[in-house]
Structure 1
Amino acid sequence: MAGMELDFVEWLRQRMPKSSQVRIGIGDDAALLTLSRPELVATADLLIDGVHFLTAEHPPEAIGYKALAVNLSDLAAMAAKPAGALVSLALPRDGAGGLTPSELAKRLFDGMLPLAEEFGSPIVGGDTNVHAGPLVVSVTALGEPTGRGVVRRDGARPGDVLLVTGELGGSLAGKHLGFTPRVTEALTLHQTVELQAMMDLSDGLSLDLARLCKASGVGAVVEAAAVPISAAASALAMTTGDLPLKHALSDGEDFELLLSVSPDDADRLLSDTPPGCRLIAIGKVVASEGVTLRQPDGTMEPLLTSGYEHR
């Protein structure tokens, strides 16, 4: 393993673009980053073959892309600017998908590197090993708050308007491997208005909205007719027999942003949406606990908190 790891580290080091923030990067015992602020935002995700992806079906580049993208989505949820990432791989001893461990590792990073460069998140270190189990990819992303600080999920207030940044549902049809983390949108919106609360939709709108409401000590009313349903969700509904709305509420792995803003700020954003952003109003925050779904005919029903479950 030692020889493979040394060769792989050198292969990766030569492919990393230069960054003014990285004083010491790959190749030393630890990385050294230059940060513009005294605070650091950190997040980590562990992705496992058979749970978050399938090496028998999904290209390694797509797996690598997703592993980094889900972490950048977490930074976006707090309106943090990416600063770098650490990547650790547990590679199957016999390889996967017809690839040797070394080939698999290189192709995983081939999927990550363009995304890392696009969002200013250089890969500055990590670890690589082989074992008798499935492929495991662990990514830790580091970010910096802007001058306005971070946005948390516990600041929603009664009367706020709930917005999402895109269509929902059906992500397992393919989007979950190739979504764009909403980093740019988050930073732009944070600069434009005061975001009361925000989170990324990783487990489904119904479940994640319930989490935001619980953290904020509030409830919400969601307008069923306003929920943006993806074409993939509508197509999936034709095979499952469920309503497209159910898929939009519960499929998970959308990685859009859910945000809570004041009515005035919502009006401002919806009437003059910042370039590069898409926003859809889906409901309002209320004082009473619980999340309710209002149907087009005005009937109200509890919104069941179901979503994507890792098995």
Structure 2
Amino acid sequence: MQGENAYIDWLRQRIPSSPRVLIGPGDDTAAVTWGAGPACLITTDMLLEGTCFTLEDSPIQVAGVESASPLRVGHKAMAVNLSDIAAMAGIPVAAVVSVGLPRRGGRHLGEELFWGMKERADEFGVAIVGGDTNSWDGPLVISISLFGEPGPAGIVRRSGAEVGDWLIVTGPLGGSIRGKHLDFIPRVREALALSSLVRLKAMIDISDGLSLDLSRLCKESACGAVLWSDRIPKMPGVTLQQALGDGEDFELLAAVHPTDAKRLLHEQPIEGIQIHAIGEVVSVGLWLDVDNCRKPLDVSGFQHILQ
């Protein structure tokens, strides 16, 4: 069995390039240019009942996972896409929404989902401009594609981290299974604020776990990293291992020059969040520093398994 990363690598080798495609697969969004105007950022996320969420009063339940109302599921469905735009320091603009609704109760479920998606979209000035609906005898399926534009400081990619850069995060990690993954606020405004204050050399949103998403950033930047175990911020009651691998934190992980990182730590200039420095970019390898002793980082996190 293999994870989705191997499948994505296979796809990237076979998708042809185009002069209008500025960024293809492998980043948090793609970027396409239509001509003289700004690039269009494009991202899409699919959520499956029983894998990404469980619904209240549904026979599909996952042990230990909090069930949610359709309104909260709608919030999450829109927010995960907004988080991808945030990871590129972009400005979200419009969304198209497709849903596969169960035949029984699908009308009411679809209406509640819509209000949840619209509430989160309205918070960030995003228009829902269309989509598609279908019905079947299976669980709820939601797919949203979100379109945006680069922020004033330009697109921030996963590539660009350099040896000596510090790694920063925008908030505490771990514990998403207790409900944070349903109610998080994507860091769109925070990403734009950060990009106006310092040069963000590389960035990714932590959707599948700190260690796994760090490995993705390092792969695209052709570098390694060391995490400082005692500086990783954790949600209350969360272990270090959970902070490293739980996933669905949707905080931002960025590489910045040490001088910029120290200034951000001292000034904490962005209202509502506390910035933490959690590691450093090195030439090769993924490491965890525990009591000034480096050991290999166990890369864990959520991946869809394919046979």
- State the AA in 1 paired with 2:108: E
> In structure 2, what is the Cα distance between the partners aligned to 1:174 and 1:295?
29
Give the % identical residues.
Answer: 51
Query: Which residue of structure 2 lines up, in the alignment, with residue 283 of structure 1?
Result: 279
Structure 1 residues 136 and 232: CA distance shift in structure 2, 3 A: farther
Query: Which residue of structure 2 lines up, in the alignment, with residue 10 of structure 1?
Result: none
- State the AA in 1 paired with 2:53: F
Query: Which residue of structure 1 lines up, in the alignment, with residue 47 of structure 2?
Result: 47
Determine whether 1:89 maps to 2:104. Answer: no
1:227 shift after superposition = 0.6
CA contact 1:37–1:144 (8 Å) conserved in 2: no
1:83 aligned counterpart, secondary structure: strand
What stretches of structure 1 move > 6 A for 4+ residues in a row? none
2:164 aligned counterpart, secondary structure: coil
TM-score normalised by the chain length of structure 2: 0.82
Larger relative helix fraction: 1
2:190 aligned counterpart, secondary structure: helix
1:304 pairs with one of 278, 283, 298: 298
CA contact 1:210–1:290 (8 Å) conserved in 2: no
- State the AA in 1 paired with 2:125: G
Query: Which residue of structure 2 lines up, in the alignment, with residue 38 of structure 1?
Result: 38
- State the AA in 1 paired with 2:97: V
2:133 aligned counterpart, secondary structure: strand
Flag the structure with larger Rg. Answer: 1
1:186 aligned counterpart, secondary structure: helix
> In structure 2, what is the Cα distance between the partners aligned to 1:301 and 1:88?
45
> In structure 2, what is the Cα distance between the partners aligned to 1:120 and 1:37?
20
CA contact 1:201–1:258 (8 Å) conserved in 2: yes
Determine whether 1:165 maps to 2:170. Answer: yes
1:155 pairs with one of 150, 157, 160: 160
> In structure 2, what is the Cα distance between the partners aligned to 1:232 and 1:119?
31
2:185 pairs with one of 180, 190, 193: 180
Gapped runs of 5+ residues in structure 2?
Answer: 1-35, 59-66
- State the AA in 1 paired with 2:302: Y
1:37 shift after superposition = 4.2
Query: Which residue of structure 2 lines up, in the alignment, with residue 267 of structure 1?
Result: 262
Gapped runs of 5+ residues in structure 1?
Answer: 1-35, 95-99, 234-243
1:227 pairs with one of 226, 229, 232: 232
2:281 aligned counterpart, secondary structure: strand
Note the 1:49-198 alignment, pairs <5 A.
49-55=49-55, 56=58, 57-94=67-104, 100-198=105-203
> In structure 2, what is the Cα distance between the partners aligned to 1:76 and 1:168?
17
1:232 shift after superposition = 4.8
1:214 shift after superposition = 1.0
- State the AA in 2 paired with 1:189: L
1:272 shift after superposition = 1.6
- State the AA in 1 paired with 2:129: V
Structure 1 residues 37 and 119: CA distance shift in structure 2, 3 A: farther
Most deviating of 62-71 and 111-120: 111-120
1:148 shift after superposition = 2.2
> In structure 1, what is the Cα distance between the partners aligned to 2:251 and 2:132?
30
Query: Which residue of structure 1 lines up, in the alignment, with residue 242 of structure 2?
Result: 247
